[in-house]
């Protein structure tokens, strides 16, 4: 073999070796890039999870902060407490306030809806006993969330002889514990709880009837007012 052939053959193995040495570098570079590519989405997804977690925590805090006033509003009125003040429009015009009845006994009956069967019987019963309540130095007022127009129509239709108050914003209803959760056909909702409150001449709550059953109720309230 000539010297030139030996030189060429010696270069060929060395060239192959060089190629083999360069190959791992290429693969390493590729692996590095792929690793970076994999790390980048991971960091983004981690950020997204962190944001989602913080958003969920913020929502819970907002919910709990919103529920705080609701729980405070649910404080139940009890006998012996001073009756909450109110000022609301009544049928026929004008407004009714608690101070209008200072020094007198007062019955407040809260009913779910004007001109429905139970509410109609209750209002008619209180109207029937109006003179007896007057003799017992006790005034009677009916309250619901109906509009004034609905209250006046209710009054005229059944010849009711007691003032009817409209509390469309539920302020008085909530203050007297007559607004809360109800259920019907397996569904829960907020509404008026049929309730009656007897206030003494001292301005304090003397008796409270909750979940009232209409039949005979007005007579029971008259008896309690007479004995007060």
pLDDT in tens, 176-217: 999 998 887 888 889 999 999 999 999 999 999 999 999 999
The per-residue pLDDT for 151 is: 97
Grade residue 21 by pLDDT with cuts at 50, 70 and 90.
Answer: very low
Between 173 and 74, where is the model more confident? 173
Pair 171, 183: CB distance under 8 Å: no
Tokens of 129: 């006993």
Q: How many angstroms separate the CA atoms of 140 and 15, rounded? A: 112
Q: How many angstroms separate the CA atoms of 79 and 77, rounded? A: 7
DSSP letter, residue 162: S
> Please, what is the average pLDDT of the chain?
78
Pair 91, 164: CB distance under 8 Å: yes
- Render the burial of 150-179: b for 16+ CB within 10 Å, e for the rest: bbbebbeebebebbbbbbeeeebbbbbbbb
Pair 176, 74: CB distance under 8 Å: no
SS3 of 208, please? strand
Residue spans of alpha helices (H) in the chain: 3-73, 117-128, 130-135, 148-158, 171-175, 217-227
Inform me whether the pLDDT recorded for 42 exceeds 70: no
Q: Interior CA angle at 170 toward 177 and 91, to 5°? A: 110
Q: How many Å separate Cα 59 from the centre of its chain?
A: 16
Q: How many Å separate Cα 6 from the centre of its chain?
A: 96
| Residues tagged active-site | 119
46-98 pLDDT per residue, tens: 443 333 333 333 233 323 333 334 434 456 899 999 999 999 999 999 999 99
Q: How many angstroms separate the CA atoms of 91 and 193, rounded? A: 21
What's the pTM value of the predicted model, to 2 decimals? 0.67
Q: Which helix (H) or strand (E) holds 83?
A: none
């Amino acid at each position: 073999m000539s010297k030139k052939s030996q030189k060429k053959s010696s270069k060929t193995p060395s060239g192959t070796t060089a190629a083999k040495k360069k190959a791992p570098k290429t693969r390493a570079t590729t692996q590095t890039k792929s690793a970076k590519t994999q790390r980048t989405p991971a960091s983004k997804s981690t950020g997204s999870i962190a944001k989602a977690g913080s958003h969920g925590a913020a929502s819970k805090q907002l919910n709990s902060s919103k529920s705080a006033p609701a729980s405070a509003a649910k404080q139940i009125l009890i006998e012996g407490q001073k009756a909450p003040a109110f000022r609301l429009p009544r049928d026929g015009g004008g407004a009714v306030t608690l101070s209008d009845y200072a020094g007198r006994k007062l019955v407040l009956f809260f009913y779910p809806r004007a001109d429905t069967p139970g509410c109609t019987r209750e209002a008619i019963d209180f109207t029937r006993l109006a003179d007896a309540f007057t003799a017992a130095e006790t005034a009677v007022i009916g309250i619901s969330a109906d509009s004034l127009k609905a209250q006046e129509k209710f009054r005229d239709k059944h010849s009711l002889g007691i003032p009817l108050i409209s509390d469309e914003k539920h302020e008085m209803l909530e203050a007297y514990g007559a607004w809360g959760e109800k259920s019907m056909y397996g569904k829960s909702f907020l509404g008026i709880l049929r309730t009656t409150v007897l206030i003494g001449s001292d301005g304090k709550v003397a008796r409270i009837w909750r979940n009232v059953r209409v039949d005979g109720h007005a007579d029971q309230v008259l008896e309690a007012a007479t004995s007060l």
